[in-house]
Amino acid sequence: MADLTAFTSADHPVRKWRKVKDKIIESILFLAALSSVFVTIGIIYILVSESLPFFQHVSFKEFVTEKEWTPMFSEAKFGILPLVVGTFMATLIALTVAIPLGTITAAYLSEYVKPNVREMLKPILEMLAAVPSVVYGYFALLFVTPILQKFLPELGGFSVLSAGIVMGIMIIPYISSLSEDAMRSVPTHLREASAALGSSKFQTTFRVVFPSAFSGISSAYILGISRALGETMVVAIAAGMQPNLSLNPLEPASTITAYIVQVSLGDLPHGSIGFQSIYVAGLTLLIMTLIFNVLGMWIKVRFQEKE
Amino acid sequence: MEQIYKAPPECQTKFTFGSGRDFLRAKVSDLSFRYNPEDRRVLNKVSLPVFDKKITALIGPSGCGKTTLLRCFNRMHDLYNATSYEGDIVLYPEGKNILSSEIDPMEVRMRIGMVFQKPNPFPKTIYENVAYGLKVRGIKKKSFIDEKIEKSLVQAGLWSEVKDRLQAQATALSGGQQQRLCIARALATDPQILLLDEPTSALDPISTAHIEELIVEIKDDVTIVIVTHNLHQAARCADYTSFMYMGDLIEYGPSEQIFTKPQDKRTENYITGRFG
């Protein structure tokens, strides 16, 4: 036991050991934090370095302006547009489902429901997130598509619409859970202020709680967008894997992720230019997701300043 | 003001009123309140009059039920489950018991405004804050809203400070300004009664003095019920004061009488600082 009543000198062994211990712990924490940075850098390095040979065969101009993506044809064409459009279409449909439903669910759970009912509902809702996405894919293909076909007889077996809707259902818990947290953290005194001015619960929820929580809710939306952009299995199974430059949601299409899966499964020989195209596709997706994250951060900061 | 809601005889005989010409705005009779059916009563058969265009102060030690009583006036307790009222608060001139289950709490709150202990402006612009009460009432006419905003900000003594920056965020204002904004926000809806729940307890002395002056000024337009921990504040502003202790209303009367010749020993002990 060190004498706690006396101050030690700088070269005292107890003091030196204390310093060393602190340094070791700090280094471990630093390495842990660094590992994720290295992985990110590594991924970007691989994507960029593997993409460069691709651009020696295909000009960047062709890549962004060509309207067809047919790497498997003998006369292969590499225009990323059909995949980007397919990705956006699927994401848009998913968000059209997920944002309204997720927000309303969050508002209900945060503002309306009694605590005991909420404790029962939340785990059930969160189970939606626990379902493997491959199950969602078959759910879209074998359950949602047939139902849609009853209303839209011209709908084929594979469509962006069906995949998008199911993807929307899949991301509801991400949006509702984060939005609910944001709405519940709005201080009670704001709700009371609103009620005291004679507003109904609905007015309080959508005129005070929702705007006050918007910075948090917008992060929930951004997370939902990122999830939808990167989602693979549902679109790979239910959207048809046919790169198709069309804005018609009833047609089959492919997305960047679905294309990567398709090629990775071995449809194209390793080392061929077609195979390299998956790295370019991956890089494109990374850039798209990055843009949304930056946008999301900007929105978050902007709305936080207002509070 | 109509004769019909002159103080009823029982109030007049129970208390001696300075002018004898005060009109009744609300009457609390035998009001008991529980937060939970199993809990003890937080308010115990409280009765007191609230006179029109006068300031009624509720004083008493922490936990005596004064804020609970104040929040009965606008049915704030109805926002939470399991609370229960007994007795009534009759609002004049309508003569309706606002605690009755037939009355919609929302309609009560449309008539009775409230300012809270901590300034609680919405994270919106100054303009939107004051316009909020009008907008939830479905008023859309911009000229009307603009006029109301100016009038209530003038009443709250904030107009000269904010007239050039109505589109600025309300949360950027100082604490005292925020509280005056909250008063303006409540006044914009022309409440019949304005409830103030320790409105200056979170403010510095200068802002407090500002708000006190303001309260005295606006009583020409609106009836005020104020809960305060600050006895000097009650003595300075209030026309009538009631002293509460452990859920009971111990003494009610003109402030002068309560602060100079209290009838009850407990009131005297409290105002002389012997407890509380």
Model confidence band, residue A301 (pLDDT cutoffs 50, 70, 90)? confident
The answer to whether the CB atoms of B76 and A192 lie below 8 A apart is: yes
Q: Residues near A287 by Cβ (< 8 Å), separated by ≥ 6?
A: none
Query: Which residue from B84, B89, B52 is spatially nearest to B70, judged by alpha carbons?
Result: B89
B114-139 residue pLDDT tens: 999 999 999 999 999 999 999 999 99
Looking at the domain assignment, is residue B198 inside a domain? yes
- Provide the greatest CA pair distance for chain A: 88
Across the interface, whether the CB atoms of B79 and A196 are under 8 A apart is answered no
| A205 within 8 A of A219, measured Cβ to Cβ | no
Whether B12 shows a pLDDT value over 60: the answer reads: no
Instruction: Please report the number of interchain residue pairs, chain A to chain B, with beta-carbon separation below 8 angstroms.
Output: 68
pLDDT at B20: 59
Percent of chain A past pLDDT 70, that is, above it, reads 97
Q: Which of A92-96, A213-217, B82-86 is predicted least confidently?
A: B82-86
> Is residue A60 over pLDDT 80?
yes
Residue B276: inside a domain: no
The nearest CA of chain A is from the CA of B45 a distance in Å of 25
Q: What gap in Å lies between CA B119 and CA B10, rounded to an integer?
A: 38
pLDDT score at A2: 57
The CATH code of the domain that includes B177 is: 3.40.50.300
| B154/chain A closest Cα distance in angstroms | 19
Q: Which residues does chain A have within 8 Å of residue B136's beta carbon, measured at their own beta carbons?
A: 194, 197-200, 203, 207
From chain B, the residues in CB contact with A208 under 8 A are 122
B53 located within any domain: yes
Q: Is residue B231 part of a domain?
A: yes
pLDDT over threshold 50, residue B187: yes
Beta-carbon separation of B169 and A306 below 8 A? yes
- The answer on pLDDT for B19 being more than 60 is no
Query: A198 vs B171: CB contact, 8 Å cut-off?
Result: no
Count of domains for chain B = 1
Could you read off the pLDDT of B167-186 as tens digits, one per residue? 999 999 998 899 999 999 99
pLDDT given at position B83: 85
Contact at CB, A192 and B116, closer than 8 angstroms: yes
Q: Does B138 touch chain A (CB under 8 A)?
A: no
Residues in B closer than 8 angstroms to A193, CB to CB, are 116, 120-122, 182, 185
Q: Which domain range does residue B200 map to?
A: 3-271
**Among candidates A191, A196, A208 on the partner chain, residue whose Cβ is nearest the Cβ of B109:** A196
What is the Cα–Cα distance from A261 to B241, expressed in whole angstroms? Answer: 77
Contact A81, A245 (CB under 8 A): yes
Q: Using CB atoms, pick whichever of A196, A212, A306 lies closest to residue B114.
A: A196
CB A102 within 8 A of CB A172: yes
Q: Note the pLDDT tens digit of each residue in A11-56.
A: 888 888 999 999 999 999 999 999 999 999 999 999 999 888 888 8
- Chain B residues in contact with A209 (beta carbon < 8 A): none
Helix (H, G, I), strand (E, B) or coil at B241: strand
C-alpha angle B156/B161/B166, rounded to 5°? 90
- Mean pLDDT score, B193-209: 90
Count CB atoms within 10 A of the CB of residue A271: 9
In A, which residues are within 8 Å of B194 by CB distance? none
A306 touches chain B (CB under 8 A): yes
Q: How far is CA B264 from the centre of its chain?
A: 25
Q: Do A198 and B79 touch (CB under 8 A)?
A: no
Q: Please indicate, yes or no, if residue B220 is contained in any of the structural domains.
A: yes
Q: What is the pLDDT of residues A115-167, one digit of tens each?
A: 889 999 988 988 888 899 899 999 999 999 999 999 988 888 898 999 999 99
Asked if A195 reaches chain B (Cβ–Cβ under 8 Å), the answer is yes
B220: confidence class by pLDDT, cuts 50, 70, 90: confident
Average pLDDT value for residue range A286-303:
86
Residues of B in contact with A187 (CB under 8 A): 120
The pLDDT, as a whole number, for residue B2 is 32
Residue B144: CB atoms within 10 Å: 11
Check residue B206 and give its pLDDT. Answer: 87
Bigger pLDDT: A173 vs A64: A173
Q: Do B122 and A199 touch (CB under 8 A)?
A: no
At B14 the pLDDT is 42
Distance from CA of B114 to the nearest CA of A (A): 6
Evaluate if residue B4 carries a pLDDT over 60: no
Query: Which of the residues A117, A185, A191, A197 would you substitute to probe the B interface, choosing the one with the greatest number of B C-beta atoms within 10 Å?
Result: A197
Q: Which of A195, A199, A307 sits opposite B171 (nearest CB)?
A: A307
Which residues in chain A have their CB less than 8 angstroms from residue B198's CB? none
Tell me if chain B has a CB within 8 Å of the CB of A189: yes
Model ipTM value: 0.86
A226: which 2 tokens? Answer: 């990122």
**Nearest CB to B113; choose among A114, A196, A307:** A196
A72-88 residue pLDDT tens: 777 778 888 889 999 99
Q: Is residue B217 part of a domain?
A: yes
Cβ of A193 within 8 Å of Cβ of B116? The answer is yes
Q: For residue A122, give how far its alpha carbon lies from the nearest alpha carbon of chain B (Å).
A: 21
DSSP symbol at B187: H
Among A34-48, A167-181, A262-276, B183-197, which is the least confidently predicted range? A262-276
**Inter-chain CB proximity B136 and A199 less than 8 Å:** yes
Res. B92: pLDDT tops 90: no
The residue with greater pLDDT, B18 or A34, is A34
